[in-house]
């Protein structure tokens, strides 16, 4: 990277640094960092915002309780299953659809916009509507399965195994467009001449795809996976409207448990501990992926 000449100018008007950075920094510090520090502070007490009497410092007890409770581990495992499945499915589908949309064909721009539409809907509306569609009796999905294909009715939201898939189907419908968008952008960035060179050597499209397109788009694809991963772990709206954490506690993700603890039970101390644990998990996963991202970025030069 030729920065040497630029270095001459690098120190020019350094004050601009402060002007441009401070608004962002101040905003984030006051409105996110400060409440977050409050959160950490509370996690060492058994405090509740709603029932303020009787506060005691409990040290790490909240954290210990969470990490040693079998219920918590069931939630972690479920969340892991859900996130892994959802992100993988969305990644594969997203890349596939972007691949198909690479070719120029009549109506391509319209198809592209349509494919992006599910992402634009309000998540609450999406959750509620899928709940309606998944209903065992009058849902349209069971209509196709039962009346048209003749198979047995599926109890989507009432049986544990099915509810996981119902959530994944709804989540995939809504967020695959995110993958499609980023993947499309990545694919259209690959320089044409590389393809032409490959064609000369009689390479098939599959070969072109796996040896040229994918490696060069890897950085953006990983970035998309990072964002989807973070958002999946944080996901709350969908579980809230679609299953309410049910049946029983089958679809209760860690994020939903956090909501329950902090909001329904108003156990502020414990809720804060959950939040911190969740944050550590997300930071850990993202860091690993960012390292991979940087490595691939370097490689693609």
Partner 1 sequence: MEQRRGIVRRIVFVIIIIVVLIYTLFPLYWLFLASLKTRIDLFTIPPKFTFKPTFSHYKKLFIYTTLETGEEQQTRFLYWLINSMISAGVGTALAVSFGTMAGYINSRMTYRGKGDFMFFVLSTRMLPPVAIIVPLYIVFARLRLADTRLGMILLYTLIGIGLATWIMKGFFDGIPTEVEEAAFVNGYTRFQAFFKILVPMVKGGIAATAGFCFIFAWNEFTFASIIATRHAMTLPPRIVSFMGTSGFEWGIVAASGYILIIPILVLFILIRKYILMGMTFGVLGRK
Partner 2 sequence: MRKAKWLMIFFAFMLAVSFIYAGGKKEEEGSGAAAPEPKKDVTLTVVWHGGVCADMLLELAKDWTAISGVKVEGALVGYGPAWHDKIASEFAARGSGFDLACWDSQSIGEFAGGGHCVLLNPYIEKSDKLNMSDWSKEMLARYGEYPDGSGKIYALPVNADSEGMHYRKDLFEDPDEKAGFKTKYGYELAIPQTWQQLRDIAEWFTRPPDLYGLGMMGGREYDYLTSVTNCLVWVFGGELWNPATYEIKGYIDSPASIDGVKFYIDLMEFCPPGVETWGWDEVNVAFQTGKVAMAHNWFYFFGAMDDPEQNPYSDVTGFAILPGGIGRDGMFRREFSMGGQGIGISKYSKHVQEAWEFIEWYEQKEQQKRYGAVCQTGRQDVLDDPAWLGGNDYNRLFRVAFNYTNDYWHLPEYAILLDILQEETHNAITGKKTPEQAMADCADRQEKILEKAGYEIERTPKIDVPDTKVTPCGKPDVVPIYVD
Name the site residues for partner 2 (rule: CB under 8 A): 46, 49-52, 54, 135-138, 153, 155, 157-160, 243-250, 260, 263-267
The least CB distance from residue 241 to partner 2, in Å, is 9
| Cβ-contact 166, 142 below 8 angstroms | no
Question: Considering only residues 163, 217, 243, 252, which one is a binding residue for partner 1 as defined by CB under 8 A?
Answer: 217
State yes or no: residue 13 binds partner 1 (CB under 8 A). yes
State yes or no: residue 222 binds partner 1 (CB under 8 A). no
The least CB distance from residue 222 to partner 1, in Å, is 11
CB closer to partner 2, 9 vs 53? 53
Range in contact with partner 1 (rule: CB under 8 A) among 67-75, 84-92, 160-168, 176-184: 176-184
Question: Considering only residues 16, 149, 152, 200, which one is a binding residue for partner 1 as defined by CB under 8 A?
Answer: 16
User: Token digits for 236?
Assistant: 């709350």
Rounded alpha-carbon distances, angstroms, from residue 24 to 11, 21, 28, 30, 89: 22, 6, 6, 10, 35
CB closer to partner 2, 127 vs 219? 127
Binders of partner 1 among residues 227 to 286 (CB under 8 A) are: 230, 233-234, 236-237, 241, 255, 258-259, 262-263, 268, 271-272, 274-275, 278-279, 282-283, 286
Question: Considering only residues 53, 117, 149, 248, which one is a binding residue for partner 1 as defined by CB under 8 A?
Answer: 117
State yes or no: residue 115 binds partner 1 (CB under 8 A). yes
Query: What are the contacts of 139-142 at 24+ separation with CB within 8 A?
Result: none
The least CB distance from residue 54 to partner 2, in Å, is 6
The least CB distance from residue 44 to partner 1, in Å, is 14
Helix (H, G, I), strand (E, B) or coil at 155: coil
User: Token digits for 173?
Assistant: 């419908």
| Cβ-contact 232, 87 below 8 angstroms | yes
CA angle at residue 282 from 230 to 228, to 5 degrees? 15
Burial 27-64 (b: 16+ CB within 10 A, else e): eeeeeeeeeeeebeebbbbbbbeeeeeeeeebeebbbe
| Residue 146: Cβ-neighbour burial (10 angstroms; 0-12, 13-18, 19+) | middle
State yes or no: residue 120 binds partner 1 (CB under 8 A). yes
Question: Considering only residues 181, 198, 212, 289, which one is a binding residue for partner 1 as defined by CB under 8 A?
Answer: 181
Q: How far apart are CA 250 and CA 244, in angstroms?
A: 10
Residues 52-91 as x/- pattern, contact with partner 1 by CB under 8 A: ----------------------------------------
State yes or no: residue 116 binds partner 1 (CB under 8 A). yes
Helix (H, G, I), strand (E, B) or coil at 104: coil
CB closer to partner 2, 42 vs 99? 42
Q: Which secondary-structure segment (H or E) carries 182?
A: helix 160-189
Range in contact with partner 1 (rule: CB under 8 A) among 73-81, 82-90, 155-163, 178-186: 178-186
């Amino acid at each position: 990277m030729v920065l040497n000449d630029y270095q001459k100018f690098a120190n020019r008007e350094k004050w601009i640094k402060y002007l441009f950075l401070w608004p962002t920094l101040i905003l984030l510090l006051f409105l996110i960092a400060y409440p977050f520090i409050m959160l950490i502070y509370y996690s060492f007490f058994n405090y509740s915002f709603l029932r303020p009497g009787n506060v005691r410092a409990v040290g790490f007890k909240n954290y210990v309780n969470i990490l040693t409770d079998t219920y918590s581990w069931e939630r972690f495992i479920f969340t892991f299953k859900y996130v892994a499945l959802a992100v993988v499915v969305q990644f594969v589908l997203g890349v596939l659809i972007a691949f198909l949309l690479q070719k120029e064909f009549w109506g391509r721009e319209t198809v592209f916009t349509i494919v992006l539409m599910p992402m634009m809907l309000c998540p609450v509306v999406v959750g509620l509507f899928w709940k309606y569609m998944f209903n065992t009796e009058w849902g349209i999905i069971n209509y196709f399965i039962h009346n048209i294909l003749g198979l047995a009715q599926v109890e989507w939201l009432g049986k544990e195994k099915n509810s996981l898939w119902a959530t994944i189907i709804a989540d995939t419908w809504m967020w695959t467009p995110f993958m499609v968008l980023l993947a499309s952008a990545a694919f259209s960035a690959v320089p044409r001449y590389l393809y032409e060179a490959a064609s000369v050597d009689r390479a098939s499209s599959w070969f072109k795809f796996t040896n040229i397109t994918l490696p060069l788009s890897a950085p953006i694809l990983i970035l998309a996976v990072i964002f989807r991963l973070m958002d999946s772990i944080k996901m709350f709206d969908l579980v809230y409207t679609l299953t309410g954490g049910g049946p029983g506690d089958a679809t209760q993700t860690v994020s939903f448990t956090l909501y329950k603890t902090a909001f329904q039970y108003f156990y502020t101390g414990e809720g804060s501990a959950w939040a911190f644990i969740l944050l550590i998990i997300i930071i850990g996963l993202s860091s690993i992926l960012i390292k991979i991202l940087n490595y691939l970025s370097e490689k693609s030069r």
